[in-house]
Copies of this chain bind each other. A is one copy, B any other.
Amino acid sequence: MSGAFLSNLTSPPLLFFFLGVFATFARSDLDVPNPVARAISLYLLFAIGFKGGVALSASPLSSDVLIALGAALLLAALVPVYVFFLVTRFFSSANAAALAATYGSISAVTFVTATNYLDAVGISWGGHFVAAMALMEAPAIVVGLFLYRRAGGDTEVSADREATAERTTIQQLLREAFLNGSVVLILGSLLIGWINGEAGMEQLAPLVKYPFVGMLCLFLLDMGLVAARRIRDIYDPRAGERSVSAKTMVALALAFALLNGSVALLIALLAGLPEGDALLLTILGASASYIAVPAAMRLALPSANPGIYLTMALAVTFPFNIVIGIPLFHYLIRALSA
């Protein structure tokens, strides 16, 4: 445990994440320009998608793939339901629904960091998990909104209706969710990698494979800057009127990472996934979305407060998962499957 834990802590990507956190708290003016940050995240989705597709092309589509995808979808549908009911006591139903969607969905960078961890410790993982990740981005959004409407959020929604001439119907939302930019890029790259296989990888490896870890370092540097800024914002007078205390937010964000991770771990073991795949499913469960879901919530639930759901996912759950979650869950998987 502590071995893997330490070697994860001192891996270049993690250390660059810490560097970003340090820079923010030290009030350094270190900054990654916004278009560059977006370019690197496009790169990571493009690369992981293509790698996954090539891996998939190597092994024939077996029932394992279907089992994995099934487990992923089950997880994505299950998590938002209990998250919603667990938090309604703390939050307005709009915020509760937003949190349900956030934690039911996933963080691609957390997933990428986990695959990088597995590659580092030399444990194989199934390329189809890239597809599983992509599939898990959207469903929680729909579940969250469904719960929200059941909980009597309808008035607000019908208000929407008038205000925006039916623009946010469920169908519309589904489309927006499944055609979200990152989903399209991941699945598209996966498909292209799958079509081109090893021959394609030979052509693209110098871009999608070799510099991958380095790019991840640069991205995590930026994530460190961004996450720390939001942490600082929580304790900022400006944020005084926030409806929930910083303590509650941090506590919940950690609790959900652990709870959802454990649920996912259970499903992984029941589905009999191999070690690497089990860790990936677990970390997908433990992770929360800070890109796709917030973007959708802004449209569908503008009354929900990003200062809550976005901050919890980005500033607490994300750092916890890449720093502690990955080696911790890996340790548990080994212990339980032994």
CB of A318, distance to nearest CB on chain B (Å): 20
Q: Are B46 and A42 touching (Cβ within 8 A)? A: no
* Copies of the polypeptide in the assembly: 3
Which residues of chain B are within 8 angstroms of A295 by Cβ–Cβ distance?
A: 29
Given contacts A16-B192, A23-B184, A30-B185, contact A218 B46 (CB under 8 A): yes
Q: Are A211 and B203 touching (Cβ within 8 A)? A: no
Q: Are B218 and A214 touching (Cβ within 8 A)? A: no
Segment at the B interface, from A151-159, A175-183, A237-245, A321-329: A175-183
A210 CA to B201 CA in the complex, in Å?
A: 12
Give A3-30 interface residues, CB cut-off 8 Å to B: 10-12, 15-16, 19, 22-23, 26-30
Q: Which of B12, B176, B221 contacts A196 (CB 8 A)?
A: B12
6 further A-B contacts with Cβ under 8 Å, apart from A19-B185, A33-B34, are A19-B188, A30-B184, A32-B42, A33-B35, A36-B36, A204-B214
Name 18 interchain pairs, CB-CB below 8 A, sorted by A.
A10-B196, A15-B196, A23-B185, A26-B175, A27-B179, A28-B179, A28-B184, A29-B181, A32-B39, A33-B35, A33-B39, A36-B36, A36-B39, A46-B217, A46-B221, A203-B214, A206-B210, A207-B215
